[in-house]
């Protein structure tokens, strides 16, 4: 997990389409990650039954949350 955290310290090291695992590696708890994926204003992409996150829209959303 430490190696994974080192990879994620830079936004550009994240994949363009992230999974819940990337959220957790950024420090979000498992329950908070699932809660975020179920919010209507969160940039969730649903492919089949899988919920994913657009990296760039996630950071835009996060910026809006801090204002």
Closest C-alpha among 35, 37, 42, 32 to residue 62: 42
For residue 50, the model assigns a pLDDT of 96
Judge residue 26's burial from the number of C-beta atoms within 10 Å of its C-beta, 0-12 exposed, 13-18 middle, 19 or more buried. middle
The residues pairing with 27 across neighbouring beta strands, listed in sequence order, are: none
CA distance 38 to 52: 11
| pLDDT (tens place) for every residue of the chain, 67 residues total | 444 555 566 788 899 999 999 999 999 999 999 999 999 999 999 999 999 999 999 999 999 998 7
* Per-residue model confidence (pLDDT) at position 67: 76
């Amino acid at each position: 997990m430490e190696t994974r955290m080192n990879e994620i310290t830079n936004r550009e090291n994240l994949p363009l389409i992230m999974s819940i695992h990337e959220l957790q590696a950024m420090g979000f708890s498992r329950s908070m990650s699932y809660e975020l994926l179920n919010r209507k204003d969160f940039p969730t992409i649903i492919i089949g039954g899988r919920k994913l996150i657009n990296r760039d829209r996630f950071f835009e959303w996060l910026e809006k949350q801090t204002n």
